[in-house]
Amino acid sequence: MSSPLAALRHPSVLSGAARLCLALLTFTLTLAACGGSESAPGLTTTFPTDGATGVALNTRVLATFDMAMEPLTASTFTLKQGGKAVPGTVALGADGTTATFTPSANLAANSGYTATITRGAKSAAGGGFAADRSWSFTTGTTADSTPPEVKSTRPTASATGVAINRHLTVTFSEAMDPLSLNSSTFSVRQGGTAISGNVTYGPGTTATFTPANSLATNTLFTVTLSPGVKDLNGNALEAAFSFSFTTGTSAALGPAPVALGTAGQYAILAKSGVSSVPGSSVTGDIGLGPAAASYITGFSLVADATNVFSTSTQVIGKVYAADYAVPTPSNLTTAVSNMEGAYTDAAGRPTPDFLELGTGNIGGQTLAPGLYKWTSTITIPTDVTLSGGANDVWIFQTTGDLTMSASKRITLSGGALAKNVFWQVAGRTTLGAGAHFEGVLLCKTDVTLQTGATMNGRLLSQTQVALQQATVTQPAP
Q: How confident is the model at residue 202, as a pLDDT?
A: 87
Q: How confident is the model at residue 45, as a pLDDT?
A: 87
What domains does the chain contain, in order, with CATH numbers? 4-34 (no CATH), 39-139 (2.60.40.1220), 150-246 (2.60.40.1220), 261-473 (no CATH)
d(CA 466, CA 275): 5
Q: At residue 320, what is the residue type?
A: Y
Q: How confident is the model at residue 250, as a pLDDT?
A: 96
Q: For the segment 108-165, what is each residue's pLDDT rounded down to a tens digit? A: 999 999 999 999 999 999 999 999 999 999 999 999 999 999 999 999 999 999 999 9
* Residues β-bridged to residue 201: 207
Instruction: Count other C-beta atoms under 10 Å from residue 25's C-beta.
Output: 11
Q: How confident is the model at residue 38, as a pLDDT?
A: 59
What does the longest C-alpha to C-alpha distance in the chain come to?
86
Q: Do 394 and 386 contact (CB within 8 A), yes or no? A: yes
d(CA 424, CA 344): 9
Q: At residue 276, what is the residue type?
A: S
Q: Do 356 and 397 contact (CB within 8 A), yes or no? A: no
For residue 9, pLDDT beyond 60 = no
Average pLDDT rounded to a whole number, residues 69-81: 96
Q: How confident is the model at residue 13, as a pLDDT?
A: 40
Average pLDDT rounded to a whole number, residues 28-40: 48
What's the whole-number average pLDDT of the chain?
92
Tell me which of 38-52, 330-344, 401-415 is least confident: 38-52
User: Which residue, among 456, 455, 431, 459, has the nearest Cα to 443 in the 3D structure?
Assistant: 459
According to DSSP, the β-strands at 186-190 and 193-194 are antiparallel
Q: Do 401 and 418 contact (CB within 8 A), yes or no? A: no
For residue 13, the SS3 value is: helix
Please name the residues in contact with 282: beta carbons below 8 A apart, sequence gap of 6 or more: 267, 268, 314, 315, 316, 317, 467, 471, 472, 473
Instruction: Count other C-beta atoms under 10 Å from residue 421's C-beta.
Output: 29
Phi-psi region of 261 (alpha: psi -120 to 50; beta: other; left: phi over 0): left
Cα 34 to the center of its chain, rounded Å: 27
Instruction: Count other C-beta atoms under 10 Å from residue 101's C-beta.
Output: 21
Q: For the segment 47-63, what is each residue's pLDDT rounded down to a tens digit? A: 998 998 889 999 999 99
d(CA 477, CA 475): 6
d(CA 354, CA 340): 24
For residue 419, the SS3 value is: helix
Q: For the segment 305-361, what is each residue's pLDDT rounded down to a tens digit? A: 999 999 999 999 999 999 999 999 999 999 999 999 999 999 999 999 999 999 999
Q: How confident is the model at residue 89, as a pLDDT?
A: 97
Residue burial 269-306, b: 16+ Cβ < 10 Å; e: rest: bbbebbbbeeebbbebbbbbbbbebebbebbebeeeee
CA distances from 408 to 77, 362, 364, 379, 385 (A): 50, 12, 10, 11, 11
Q: At residue 84, what is the residue type?
A: K
* Residues β-bridged to residue 320: 287
Q: How confident is the model at residue 32, as a pLDDT?
A: 39
Instruction: Count other C-beta atoms under 10 Å from residue 315's C-beta.
Output: 22
| Edge-to-edge order in the sheet of strand 43-47 | 43-47, 61-65, 98-103, 88-92
d(CA 133, CA 256): 29
Q: How confident is the model at residue 7, as a pLDDT?
A: 40
Q: How confident is the model at residue 26, as a pLDDT?
A: 40
d(CA 442, CA 266): 12
Q: For the segment 187-221, what is each residue's pLDDT rounded down to a tens digit? A: 999 999 999 999 999 888 999 999 999 999 999 99
According to DSSP, the β-strands at 429-431 and 77-81 are unpaired
Which helix (H) or strand (E) covers residue 287, if one does? strand 285-288
Phi-psi region of 149 (alpha: psi -120 to 50; beta: other; left: phi over 0): beta
Give the CB-side neighbour count of residue 184, counting CA atoms within 13 A.
Answer: 7
Instruction: Count other C-beta atoms under 10 Å from residue 369's C-beta.
Output: 22
